[in-house]
Amino acid sequence: MAVRIRLRRVGSKKNPIWRIVVADKRAPRDGRTIETIGQYNAQTDPSTIVIDEDRANYWLEKGAQPSERVAGLLRIKGIKATANVGWFPADAGDASLHHAGAGRGSRRGRGRGTRRRRRPGFRDHGR
């Protein structure tokens, strides 16, 4: 199961308050969560950030990936996110390893089968 630490919106209309939650990557933004580990309110001055550091470290050790926004919030609170937060491997000494297979043409068969097929007898009436 791919687990992410991300934000879940709560609060009323035009008054967002965000909960910092641990959820399955495939679950909807405001859907099922595994655990709530904090909250974030950007409308206060200064912004209110409350995170349970023990639980955040527990989930990071288990391999949970923080979203970009949550990684920034963790950084602000002084919680060190693991090395697997960014795009690059932590121990990569060679620059050629950074984007292995991420260039053009790396996906086999790209460009084939991209034309949309229509059902038999479909007429688009000049569109």
If phi > 0 it is left, if psi is from -120 to 50 it is alpha, else beta; for residue 52 that is beta
Cβ–Cβ < 8 Å for 58, 82: no
Domains belonging to the chain, first-starting first, are 3-79 (3.30.1320.10)
Mean of pLDDT over the chain: 80
Of residues 111 and 84, the one with the higher pLDDT is 111
Tokens encoding 52 = 């349970």
| pLDDT tens readout for residues 2-42 | 999 999 999 999 999 999 999 999 999 989 999 999 999 99
- Token output for 106: 């790396």
What count of residues does the chain have?
127
Report residue 97: phi and psi, to 5°: -85, -10
Does 90 score more than 70 pLDDT? no
Residue 108 reports pLDDT greater than 50: yes
35-56 pLDDT, tens digit each? 999 999 999 999 999 999 999 9
Distances (CA, A) of 124 to 9, 65, 113, 117: 41, 45, 21, 13
The whole-angstrom separation of Cα 75 and Cα 61 is 16
Return d(Cα 102, Cα 9) in angstroms, integer: 33
Helix (H) or strand (E) holding 58: helix 53-61
Cα–Cα distance for residue pair 18/69, rounded to 1 Å: 11
